[in-house]
Structure 1
Amino acid sequence: VGLKSTTPTVACALSNTLPALTFVMAAVLKMETVRLGTPSGQAKVLGTVVCVGGSMIMPFYKGPLLKVWASPMHWRYAEHATDATTLPSGNAAIVGDVLIILSCVAWAVWFILQSKMSERFSAPYTSTTIMSLMAGVQCAGISVVMDRSVSAWKLGFDIRLYAALYVGVVGSGIAFAVMSWCIQSRGPLFVSMFSPLMLVVVAVVGWAILEEKIHVGRYLPSVLPSSSLGCIWCFGARGGR
């Protein structure tokens, strides 16, 4: 609902607040050592600020268009896709931004809970199965309340079926199992710090499949923090543990 009420660019930018939210929660719960007086603590804080600050530039600065070669993987579906003629504005855009931020808060809470749960139940595949089953039941109930038409539940051999399979198999099954394993191994903050790389993947896949244009201001503010963030945070993690 938040994505529908705002623009994709703003939604991606706001989702990059996830590392900062996770960092604050982990620090408050004493799951991460900060120690601002030490180089390691300063590195963690600097990494979070660089990550979030760089990502926040995207909604306000588009920048020049990068001239890159045409993609050989262009997907024909993109030719029939319709672009939105109007962008959300006013109260609708504000509601969308708030919902995206709340979803990031919920995601950060999941990172924290997953870290605590792995201490007593170190079975990422089982926990992912249980979580996906519960999410499926909840989404089915919400869908019935929001849209009771039978046509909304029909799936053919088209983009709706492919999207549902991808989200279910890759986006939920594989992704959450891998994240659960990583959280168990390295902790919640380490995993959340790599969320800004989503924009890098979006830029590459969007250009390759949908022939989307790449603007410097839209992706560079996220690419630079993402590439430097790993070095900054790993330095802080080594010195602080």
Structure 2
Amino acid sequence: MKIILSALLCCIVSASCVNANATVNIGGTRLLYNGDKKEVSLSVNNPDSTPYLIQTVVDNLTSDPKKPPFIITPPLYRLNGGKENLMRIIMTGGLPQDKESMFWLRVKAIPSAPREKNTLQIAVATSIKLIYRPTALKDINVEKESGKLSWRVSGHKLEITNPTPCFINFNEIILAGKKLQNVSYAAPGTTTTFDLPSGVNGGNLQFSVISDFGAVGSLHSTSV
């Protein structure tokens, strides 16, 4: 019985390793939806020989139960090996026009299973940020806006106040020579907190942000 279980476990692990490396390519790390556009598009490419079932949904950043005001066409489709498909994202409801809104666009790729073999198929999920920018903010520069952030240390936390109408997505934050872990973004008009490294309570602060196209900006310096 132990021999059978061991053999079965080896098969499962082997299948996991093979399929975990298989994936599809998404056309970008984020998607900007300008308010003056009727829709935006996102390309999905399958470089493998294996067909995939592609499922795409838009989720809220938080646990807000309200459904995001977007539809995706097609939301579910087969993508054959060596092929590319263009998905359309269309806004169906109203969003604030005085600040940006941000969501998760999730793309799940499920490989097809060979009929003649018992294999473990693993769905590979990719999440990118979908940022809605109202028409009034069309020409805004996130890199410049990040210079308006206010920084302060409160206990074991770094507080960041964002007075701008933009989502500021951080690449890194370094305080007193130590990099903060798990930094994400500062939402417009809010104060965000991140944990400080052990033993750090102030000093020279450096940070960089990510542009609309996924590029890392220059390193900014200030002090707290």
Give the TM bin, normalised by the shorter chain. under 0.3
TM-score (norm 2): 0.20
Identify the structure with the greater strand proportion: 2
Identify the structure with the greater helix proportion: 1
Look at both structures and tell me which one has the larger radius of gyration over its CA atoms: 2
TM-score (norm 1): 0.19
